[in-house]
Structure formats: structure tokens, C-alpha cells
Structure 1
Amino acid sequence: MNYKVFYLLLFLPLLIFSQESPDIKFDKYLENKTNVITVDNNEFCPVSIEYEYSGENVKSSLANKSIIVIPANTKKFIISKIDAQDQFKSYKFNYNVYYVFGDVNSKPADTEEVYWLPYPTNTSQTIYQGYNGAFSHQNAYSLDFSHKLGTQVFAARSGKVVITKSDSNQSCLTKDCAKFNNKIIILHDDGTFGEYVHLKKDGITVKKGDDVKQGELIGYSGNTGWSKGPHLHFSVFTNKIDGERTYYKTKFRVKGSPNPIYLQEKKNYTRNY
């Protein structure tokens, strides 16, 4: 049996988290005249991939525009097997891959998680920008705590550190500076991410792959990136395959309330635990 194979491989990654892209590597090998496409996921969290292909006289084991989730720290994960429909004819094949951090199918647990205030015990802070805030929280359930420069930052919830950045000392009032955000992103056990942003330069005490406990020191607040003054930005979200996010409201344990509450803009809250 003789046939000629011609294929063109295109990778078009969709970048998220302010220009950050997952550390994944695509490869291919020939197995009994079938092309096998694989991926290594070198991240400490799952990565979701949308797979698109086109061509002539071609068949793929994975349906077009399928979304698959690559487990964390996985090598040679098979995405698809490619072959000719008519083995006596040549075929052409192109594919694009779009990818984002996390499992895009994840949703928060039905029971509400109780978050801890991310600042030192026996101190109080004000929410100076709340959910859907006018400066930078449009259509986002995000909170800005009035952390002074160098204030200790504690994990609001347990999880695994999957992204860190601490090499920036720049800031400005426009979205263009989001790429300078120093941050920590923690993967929770329900697949959501917790994001701590605007940390000071070299102000992170954890590293990628660390498991952190609720209330553990993870860094120090700053004024980096898209920011108009020292503070801590916090949000909980999952990613969509198009790079957009779904944000979730979070209830916190605070002094003076017997039950966890949603925090409100311009109000002051004390951590007494």
C-alpha cells in the first residue's frame, strides 16, 4: 500500500492571565502509518484544550472543535490520531489548538466555601473597590482590600500554587499595565482559582507547586501593575475556553457576624481569628 502524507501543523495559543501561557508542549509521532498528536502538560494544574482541524481526505479520532482537559504534570497525553479516509490517496491536515489554565468544566461546590480575610489577625481593612467596581471591576466579582505597602497577605482558602509573578516594580492607571501585575494564583479543590494581585516586588513567600493552607502567609502587598495605589486585589474564578472568566462571589468570616458574609464596598472588616 502506497500513499503520500502531507500535513501542516498550526498552533495558535490563546493567552490568558495577562499574557501568560500554560507550559505545554505538543508533539507527534508515527504509529503504524497513523499520525498521533500528543501533549505534555508541565503545569501544576489541568489545562483545557480546544482542538480544531481541517484538511482533505482526512479523519481524526477526536471530533472537530472538541474540548479536552489535560491533567496536571502529564506526559505524552494523546489528543488525536490522524489518518487518511482513503488509504490509497494522499491527505492534507491542519490543526489549531487553543488552551487555557484549568478545567473549563469546573464549577464551585454546592456548599458555600467560607473564606478568611487575607490580612493579619486583629487588624481591620476597608473594601475600597467591591464587586462590579467602576475602576477595574466591571462585570467582575472582585475585591480590593486597602492593604498598605508591605502588609502580610494570607491565603483566603487552601489550595495549590499554580502561578506566581514577583519581578515587577511598575504600575500605572491603565489596563496596559496589567502585564506588570505581581500575583499568586492558587488552584482550589473544586477547580476554581483564587487570585492575589499587585504584590510587591520579590514579595512572594511561596512557589509554584506548593500546597498552602488557609491562613498561611503567602506574600506581601504592593502597588504593581494596573493599580492606582497600594492594595490587594482578590477574586475567585474559573476560565472559559475563549480566555474569558467566570467570577464567583465569596463569603468571608468577619468579626461581629455569626455567619459568613459578602463584603461590601467602602465598609471596614476586622479579622479576629
Structure 2
Amino acid sequence: MKNYFQLKIALCLIIISCSTKLQAQDRVIEVTAIRNENKSVDFFYKKNMPGSYTIKIEFNGLTNTSAADHYEQVIEGNFGKLLTLRPTNKDLGISYGYKTSYAFGNSRPKVDSLFQYLFPFKKGAKITIYESGNVNEKYFGAEKPESWKSYSTNSKTADSVFSMRKGIVVNFKNEFQNDTLTKMVYTSKTNNIVIEHEDGTYAIYKGFKKDSFKVKLGDIVYPNTMLGTLNKFNNENYILHFGIYYFDNKAMFDSSKLIKKSNSPYIYLTPYFYTAEGVIKIVAKSSYITDFNESILTKEMTKKEIKQRLNSKIL
């Protein structure tokens, strides 16, 4: 049965490659259906980008099956099976039509609100943390999301930025050079990186110097992995904006709700941070000394990753 399933997936990917080669260049997720000898229909997906996506299939004209007319699933792997339509009358085939839609993000997160994050700077650094205002509310008169929470730091030096938790790099922008001529209070032209965590939360880090990234799309990073170097803002300070959020599953596919929430499908966390002073929740304009220990570094590692880390330390 295992070999049969693998053969069907391989056949599915060949069909996708041959029939939708041009379309595949633009689509993140491709779905195809395979009719089986027993009259059932298997649906498979292929995902062309890292990270979790939520996919929806809406059926129309379903006959000879008891399947629901809609289907939703969070997909993480590069390819796999979505569902099977089974015939009510095994002597007849299933008739159906369908359309698919998908959105970036995990719509079914299992958020660990007690998780202890690291500050995104090297151990022993003294940093002052500020709470950042919501740009849409401040400059465009939009309603701020109820849970809005974003942080920032200022520095006179081009500090390196480190990951706050293990995760996978699912998005980054590396386009913008430092603007040395224009005096600004805000700009959307910032290089940034997004990392997805195991529990379905995401961390965003904004303010990198162009081409300073030390990781690439799809990389797995660990706590205290160097991500890149900060860029200068207004030829004065080096500023990092960072925050942690997860997706509001009720808003991911509902544009009317996004409008009411300042075009944000996110719910923001007020996380705990591990510091030299202990485990804290940030108090705005307060200073902290960054810290980490071995248990935090290995907490989300697999047994194989822990073994590799021990071997590398021995060497």
C-alpha cells in the first residue's frame, strides 16, 4: 500500500508538470485529481514555497458521493494527498466540479502563549525596548487591530540581528538601499524577514541592510542564529522593528473583515522573553540585558539535531 501511494503521488506530480508547466511558474500551490479503478477520486497538492499555507476546495455538482461540498486544510510539506472522494454507488463514477483558493499562513495554530523567546541580539547586550505605533492608524486613519503589539530598538551601531526562536524562513525582502537624502518619519521600504515557528506563530524582523542576510528562504534557524545586519535610518540610528503574531482563521479568506481590522489578518502576541533579569514581558521604554542558555537553544530541536549539536561541540 505504501509503494502504491508513493507511485500515485509520483504520477500526480508528473501530470502536474506536463499539463500545467507554464501556469506552475506563477502558482504557489497546484492541485490535481486522479480517478482510481474503484471509482474513487484522490486529490493531491504540490507546494512551491516554504512554510504553511491554508488551502480551500469548493465543490459543485457533486453526485454519487457523500463528501461535503467544501474542504479546508493546512499544508506544510512540499507535496501530499489532500482528500479522497468515495462513490456511494460503487458501480458508478463520481461527477464533480471544483475550484481552489489558498492563503499564506497556518489557519489552525496551536499557540504556546507561555513560550520564552530570546531578544534578537547577541548575549549580554543592553537594549531599550519601545512599543511601535500602528502605521495604518497613525498615518492613514484606519482602525488599529485590537491585539496590536510591535516593538522597536534604537542603536548607534550596525548591530547584528539574531533569531528569537527555532523556525523556518518563509519570507524575506532584500530590495532597498539606505536612503541618505530623504528625511523620513516612516517608510515602508524596509528589508525584512519572516520566520514561521512550530506552534503556528510568526516572527517578523524589519530594518536590515541590503544584502546583509545570513540565511535564505526555506532555511531552518535556531535560537540565536544570526539573520543579518541592521540598516541606518535617516543617517542617524539603526532601528529594528520586530513582533510576533499568528493568523486569524476567521479573516484569512474574508476581505470584509480585513477592512475592519486595518487590512490585518493577524492576532499579535505579548510574548515572554528570557533575559539576564529573568523571564519578563516587555515594559515599554525599559532596558534589559539579553541572555540565553542551553535549554532554550535545544528546547525545540529534534533528537537528531541535538545529537548533531553535541557532536559539533565535541569536535
TM-score, length of structure 1 as denominator length: 0.70
Cα distance in 1, alignment partners of residues 57 and 98 from structure 2: 11
- Equivalent of 1:194 in 196, 200, 203: 203
Secondary structure, aligned partner of 1:201? coil
Question: How big is each residue's C-alpha offset from its partner over 1:160-181, in whole Å with a ceiling of 9 and x where there is no partner?
Answer: 222232233378767xx64x44
In the alignment, structure 2 segments of 5+ residues that lack a partner are: 1-25, 138-143, 253-264, 293-315
Aligned to 1:15: none
Query: What is the letter of the counterpart of residue 120 of structure 2?
Result: P
Aligned to 2:31: 26
Q: Is the 8 A contact 1:49 1:70 kept in 2?
A: yes
Cα distance in 1, alignment partners of residues 82 and 290 from structure 2: 48
Give how far 1:261 is off: 1.0
Aligned to 1:261: 280
- Equivalent of 2:166 in 158, 178, 202: 158
Q: 1:101 to 1:78 in 2, by over 3 A?
A: same
Q: Is the 8 A contact 2:59 2:96 kept in 1?
A: no
| Pair 1:182-2:186 in alignment | no
Aligned to 1:124: 126
Secondary structure, aligned partner of 1:204? coil
Give how far 1:61 is off: 6.7
Aligned to 1:43: 49
Cα distance in 2, alignment partners of residues 262 and 158 from structure 1: 20
Q: Is the 8 A contact 1:29 1:37 kept in 2?
A: yes
Q: 1:28 to 1:65 in 2, by over 3 A?
A: closer
Question: How big is each residue's C-alpha offset from its partner over 1:222-267, in whole Å with a ceiling of 9 and x where there is no partner?
Answer: 369xxx9742121222223433112211111234x2x311112222
- Equivalent of 2:242 in 227, 231, 234: 234
Higher strand share goes to which structure? 1
Q: 1:209 to 1:84 in 2, by over 3 A?
A: same
Q: Is the 8 A contact 2:33 2:44 kept in 1?
A: yes
Q: Is the 8 A contact 1:125 1:270 kept in 2?
A: yes
- Equivalent of 1:218 in 220, 223, 227: 227
Cα distance in 2, alignment partners of residues 90 and 252 from structure 1: 54
Question: How big is each residue's C-alpha offset from its partner over 1:162-204, in whole Å with a ceiling of 9 and x where there is no partner?
Answer: 2232233378767xx64x4422222222222222123221121
| Pair 1:114-2:119 in alignment | no
In the alignment, structure 1 segments of 5+ residues that lack a partner are: 1-20
Query: What is the letter of the counterpart of residue 192 of structure 2?
Result: K
Give how far 1:79 is off: 4.5
Highest RCO, 1 vs 2 (Cα 8 Å, sep ≥ 6) = 1
Identical columns (%): 22
Question: How big is each residue's C-alpha offset from its partner over 1:51-86, in whole Å with a ceiling of 9 and x where there is no partner?
Answer: 2233x46467752343212232224x335649899x
- Equivalent of 1:205 in 209, 214, 226: 214
Cα distance in 1, alignment partners of residues 267 and 125 from structure 2: 31
Q: 1:68 to 1:113 in 2, by over 3 A?
A: same
Aligned to 2:105: 101
Q: 1:26 to 1:169 in 2, by over 3 A?
A: farther
The count of residues paired between Structure 1 and Structure 2 equals: 238
Q: Is the 8 A contact 2:172 2:191 kept in 1?
A: yes
Q: Is the 8 A contact 1:58 1:93 kept in 2?
A: no
Q: Is the 8 A contact 1:148 1:221 kept in 2?
A: no
Secondary structure, aligned partner of 1:202? coil
Higher helix share goes to which structure? 2
Superposition CA RMSD, Å: 3.7
TM-score, length of structure 2 as denominator length: 0.62
